[in-house]
Amino acid sequence: MKKILIVEDDTALAGTIKNYLKLKGFEVNHADNGAVGIQLAFSTMPDAIICDINIPVVDGYQVYKILSETIVTQSIPFIFLTAKTSLTDIRTGMQLGADDYITKPFDFDDLYAAVTTRIDKREKISNASEDKFISLLNNSPNGTFVCQKKKFIVVNRKLADFFGYSQVEMLNKCLVELTDVDDKQKIDDAMTNCLSTHKKEFSIEFYGQNKFNQKLPLKLIAGYSFYKGQDCIVGSLINLSSEEYTLKDIALSSSDLEELGNAIEVFSADYNIISKDLIEKLSGIFTKERKESDSINVELSIREKEVLNQICLGKSTNEIADTLFISDRTVEKHRAAIVQKTDSKNMIEAVIFAIKNKMVKV
């Protein structure tokens, strides 16, 4: 079900739009001011945003500017909804880069057409990118895969051939299911640790089991990544008994794995770096909106607080590691802990939480 976010302070109008879009099969969330709208955009990752311009706390133009500066949200179709009808107002909205501009009063069928057209356009672009991504995987000489919740969501032909299944059949399975009984716990523990610590690379040898109940000596090289808004593991499996492996080591190197992980992260539009300028804007918004009674106490370790402050300075993982004299992996582990402890879906949502609850000084 496609998700729509409405940012509108006129609760009667917002309710009417919400009910209309629900009847059309959408899941709809509503924010009555710009600050809440920004937060809901990060937490719900809607398929389209309908936003009024004259809204409290932060106006619609600022909402759009902030979301367009963040790679996680910048590709979400954004439709301005407003009573402003002058050419100057319309031009301002479109020059910012908004996808559409609908003036009040409006026909609900026109609104529906605008929403569906923009979502369809975005999906066509996304599907074209995904086709190229799948082609890259399928042409890899290694058995390559992407897992979410430990289940295969993408596998190439090479990997499917290892186990004697079709690619479609593999999508209903998880790696532990295809592991020999004596090694199941070892593989499950390795994948759990990878996801919980955001480990960029790990390697392990084990015995798999194919469709014909034959044992396969395998080597797994994998690491954490992010795909379509969710944590994932991207990796390569090598059949240690194959002639190809005997003749030469065709294992995906750590640098190859990192490159593939980077490609996945670019495709899924998620980056770790949050600019200092964006942090300052968010701080201005949420500091003004916050009430003392709204504060929620979350216990972060001293190191986690240090990492969080460095993130708010706009530093990359490597820069944070150099500043704090720790490894990149340790930085990623602390990032994961911050997101988990603040009950956030991504780092930007965690930063907003931290700003609202005075956990950082900007």
Digit-coded pLDDT (tens) for 105-161: 899 999 999 999 999 988 887 776 666 666 666 666 678 898 988 899 888 888 998
pLDDT of res. 289: 63
**Side by side, which strands form the sheet with 215-227?**
151-155, 143-148, 230-239, 215-227, 202-209
Instruction: Quote the percentage of the chain above a pLDDT of 70.
Output: 81
Tally of domains in the chain = 3
Q: Are 150 and 262 members of one domain? A: yes
Instruction: Quote the percentage of the chain above a pLDDT of 90.
Output: 40
Q: Are 291 and 176 members of one domain? A: no
362 in any annotated domain: no
Per the structure block, which two tokens stand in for 357?
A: 């609850």
Answer yes or no: is pLDDT of 269 > 50. no
- Residue 95 pLDDT grade (very low, low, confident, very high; cuts 50, 70, 90): confident
- Once rounded to an integer, what is the mean pLDDT over residues 30-38? 95
Q: 267, 288, 319 — which closes off a domain?
A: 267
- Residue 270 pLDDT grade (very low, low, confident, very high; cuts 50, 70, 90): very low
Peptide bond into 105 cis (omega under 30): yes
Q: Are 290 and 334 members of one domain? A: yes
pLDDT of res. 250: 45
pLDDT of res. 318: 83
- Strand partners for 148: 151
